[in-house]
Amino acid sequence: MPTLRDVARAAGVSTTTASDALAGRGRITAATRERIAAAARDLGYLPNLAARNLRRGRTGAIGLRVPERTAGLTYYMELAIGAAERAHAEDAALTLLPTGSPPRPGLHVDGVVVADPALGDPGVAALAAAGLPVVTCERDLTPGAAHAGTVESDHAATAVRLLDHLAARGARRTAVLAPGTETAYGHDLRAAHERWCAERSVPPLVRDVGLASDPVVVAGAVAELLGSAEPPDALLVVPDGSATPALEAVRARGLHPPGDLLFAAYADGPVLRALQVTAVDLAAREMGRRLAGLLLDVLAGRRPPGTREVLPLQLVERASSAR
């Protein structure tokens, strides 16, 4: 493995100059810079990250913390892959943090990406208290929580677009199965829905089924809604993985979307694609890329702490809400 000294020797300069040239620092003539770059290329030089990190006093890794209960969701896997991609582009490693339980004190990371922080999660507070820059996927609703950055999905606008879509297809009474408000995801969705209803003077029809949806609870909520005196003519099922049990429950009553009932879900995925259910593309990979990018930028001082970013989402219209 060639080292920086080898590159410097090959280019006829000192290690300092080679280091500066490759990093774009210092004052160096274009010619010298080019000679060094060529030497590095020829030798196949790759910086030793351990040495760099030691010198810089960094670990060279960023952590990713996903909520334990829902860790298995495809969304987080895609998010993780995106974050890893972005981190690699800057020679940083992405470390999956053992979620659950407060993180051990000597965490070897320079900063942490926290996916969907729950309201008052002590683990997140511990990370921040340890002086680690924290970037969250969706806002941290915990009072007083001020993190290094946040990337939020545009749930409010998307929820409105989805409700509009259903209304345009003839829905007069849309029921929403939503996660709780302990997470910004659920909070924003509900708020948007309530505002939408208020603007139209329609009473909001919502059922709380939790973020990590229990299929039995979902099925129960659907059955209760459809069996009520004024049953809804459209169903929006938000929590990931709850579309299947909801659809089951709908069919169990002999109803078939989209004819008998408009049906839509939220977090898109292979299952919804297969079931031909209208949903929202949450752009998980892009979210991961942006999260890692934001954290890395804050760490490098390229962006100020406290930066917020909004990720637009895309509505995917399918047969379940086509009329």
Partner DNA sequence: AAGCACCGCCGGAACGATCCGGCAAGGACT
Partner DNA sequence: AGTCCTTGCCGGATCGTTCCGGCGGTGCTT
The separation between CA 197 and the C-alpha centre of its own chain, rounded to angstroms, equals 27
Long-range pairs for 299-303: beta carbons < 8 A, 24 or more residues apart = 299/62, 299/110, 299/111, 299/133, 303/149
In the complex, the smallest distance separating the C-beta of residue 50 from DNA, rounded to whole angstroms, is 7
**Nearest C-alpha neighbor of 294 from the set 303, 285, 281, 283:** 303
Binding to DNA by residue 28, rule CB under 7 A?
yes
> Which listed option, DNA, its own copies, none, makes contact with residue 25 (CB within 5 to 8 Å by class)?
DNA
Q: Are 266 and 240 in contact (CB under 8 A)?
A: yes
Which token pair is 254?
């002999």
Binding to DNA by residue 48, rule CB under 7 A?
yes
Residues near its own copies (CB under 8 A), total: 48
> Which listed option, its own copies, DNA, none, makes contact with residue 241 (CB within 5 to 8 Å by class)?
its own copies
Binding to DNA by residue 51, rule CB under 7 A?
yes
As a whole number of angstroms, the distance between CA 242 and CA 233 comes to 19
Of 1-9, 64-72, 154-162, 284-292, the window that binds DNA (rule: CB under 7 A) is 1-9
CA–CA–CA angle 210, 287, 141 (5° rounding): 45
Name which of 65 and 187 has its Cβ closer to its own copies: 65
Binding to DNA by residue 200, rule CB under 7 A?
no
Contact residue for DNA among 24, 44, 55, 229 (CB under 7 A): 55
> Which listed option, its own copies, DNA, none, makes contact with residue 19 (CB within 5 to 8 Å by class)?
DNA
> Which listed option, DNA, its own copies, none, makes contact with residue 196 (CB within 5 to 8 Å by class)?
none
Spatial neighbors of 237 by CB under 8 A, at least 6 apart, are 177, 218, 243, 246, 263, 264, 265, 266
Binding to its own copies by residue 172, rule CB under 8 A?
no
Binding to DNA by residue 74, rule CB under 7 A?
no
Binding to DNA by residue 54, rule CB under 7 A?
yes
**Nearest C-alpha neighbor of 12 from the set 23, 31, 25, 1:** 31
Binding to its own copies by residue 223, rule CB under 8 A?
no
Spatial neighbors of 201 by CB under 8 A, at least 6 apart, are none
Spatial neighbors of 109 by CB under 8 A, at least 6 apart, are 59, 61, 62, 63, 95, 97, 132
Which token pair is 55?
């010198």
- Segment 128 to 157, residues that bind its own copies, using CB under 8 A: none
As a whole number of angstroms, the distance between CA 188 and CA 135 comes to 19
Contact residue for its own copies among 94, 151, 279, 311 (CB under 8 A): 94
Binding to DNA by residue 314, rule CB under 7 A?
no
Pairing label, strands 149-153, 278-281: unpaired
Name the residues that contact DNA, by CB under 7 A: 1, 3-5, 12-17, 19-20, 22-23, 25-29, 31-32, 45, 47-48, 51-52, 54-57
Name the residues that contact its own copies, by CB under 8 A: 44, 46, 48-51, 53-54, 58-61, 71-74, 76-78, 80-81, 84-85, 88, 91, 93-99, 105-106, 108, 215, 218, 241, 244-245, 248, 251, 269-271, 273-275
